[in-house]
Amino acid sequence: MWSKVIQKHHNKSYSGEFILLGVSDHPRLELLLSSVVLIGYVMTLLGNTTIIIASCLDPRLQTPMYFFLSNLSFLDLCYTTSLGPQMLVNFWTKRKTISYVACAVQLYVSLGLGSTECVLLAAMAYDRYAAICQPLRYTTIMSHSVCSKMAGFSWVVGFSNSLVQSAMTLSLPLCGHNKIDHFFCEVPTLLRLSCVDTSVNEAELLVSSVVILLIPLSLIIISYCYIAIAILRIHSVEGRRKAFNTCASHFTVVSLFYGSAIFSYLQPPSNYSHDQGKMMSLFYTMVAPMLNPLIYTLRNKEFHRAVKRVMKRVIIL
């Protein structure tokens, strides 16, 4: 299918490469952003890798919550890797180009991972709902089989959405337009390059964004409404605090990710502010994945103890 899309693109426009403009007209800002991306990428690698290793090696962390957290960490690792290195290369070189095939792959992979994260965050909210609202049935509701199916469903939905979006976007004729006013290949920016009417694509993007963004977000909000009611029914202050702490991290991550993604995708590309859109996309692709491990583990004493146990085992070996 991809070969047909690429061939169609070549027939209608050109067979070459794209120029990623980014903020090349502001050298100082470019230097600052390159530092942000580099620091964010390194911290994302370290933080998320630590979560994955600890969750796999420590038996006490082999619970549904850490199973989903490991999936989220793996997603963030792949997501930043699909975009970060290319951005750094463009920041550090004068030739800010990307081949058409590389752009198509970057678009498909990054959009698939981002869409998967939307659905996975909803699955994580349901896990917190089951833990607080159905504590006696929690292990039955969130069995390993159920968790695996929910995670698998997230990946299938995410990459199915990306396949449709990418195919429709890459099939548009560009008529020689190859300057992308962005840091990477993204649907709204590629739609602006087309020399034909993109109203159908914009409508499809809006519908897809509603399905991938707003439906999972609605399920998350419903879950947290039930969670809030359950917490208010807890009589002890200590019990309320513990229940609140188990959800606060996830709620913060949801707010950061969905807030920036909704700003970027739930508006017509024709109304898309170039500068605001670029900064917002940089936030949800590089900054948010860096913050996620910190949000989940900074005050998590259980995770800190698990890391110490894993480190002791590694040192002994």
* Domain segments of the chain as ranges: 2-316
Tell me the two tokens of residue 80. Answer: 């930043």
Note the pLDDT of residue 269: 54
What value does the mean pLDDT of the chain take? 84
Q: For residue 159, what pLDDT is reported?
A: 95
- Strand 179-180 relative to strand 97-99: parallel, antiparallel, unpaired? unpaired
Query: pLDDT tens digits, residue range 17-59?
Result: 888 888 777 888 888 988 989 999 999 999 999 999 988 888 8
Rounded to an integer, what distance in angstroms lies between the CA atom of residue 276 and that of residue 216?
Answer: 25
Q: CA 5, CA 130: separation in Å to the nearest integer?
A: 44
Model pLDDT, residue 90: 87
**Rounded to an integer, what distance in angstroms lies between the CA atom of residue 148 and that of residue 223?**
20
**Domain 2-316: what homologous superfamily?**
Rhodopsin 7-helix transmembrane proteins (1.20.1070.10)
Distance set, CA 138 to CA 41, 130, 171, 278, 314 (Å): 36, 6, 47, 42, 32
Dihedral angle sign, alpha carbons of residues 147, 150, 153, 159: negative
21: three-class secondary structure by DSSP: coil
Nearest alpha carbon to residue 183 among 107, 112, 253: 107
For the stretch 153-199, pLDDT in tens is: 999 999 999 999 999 988 888 776 788 888 888 888 888 888 888 88
Q: Please name the residues in contact with 211: beta carbons below 8 A apart, sequence gap of 6 or more.
A: 161
Q: Are 121 and 254 in contact (CB under 8 A)?
A: yes
pLDDT at position 14: 47
* Residue 13: per-residue pLDDT: 43
Please report the pLDDT score of residue 80 as a whole number.
Answer: 93
Predicted pLDDT of residue 234: 80
pLDDT score for 198: 82
pLDDT of residue 16: 74
Extract the residue ranges of the chain whose pLDDT is less than 50.
Answer: 2-15
Per the CB < 8 A criterion, the answer to whether 121 and 253 are in contact is yes
Global pTM reads 0.87
* Number of CB atoms found within 10 A of residue 231's CB: 19
Residue 40 carries which side chain, given as an amino acid letter?
G
Q: Taking the CA atoms of the chain, what radius of gyration do you get in angstroms?
A: 21
Amino acid at 208: S
Torsion sign across C-alpha atoms 247, 248, 253, 258: positive
Q: Dihedral sign, CA of 83, 88, 89, 91?
A: positive
pLDDT of residue 3: 46
Q: What is the pLDDT of residue 297?
A: 83
Torsion of CA 57, 61, 64, 67, to 10 degrees: -40
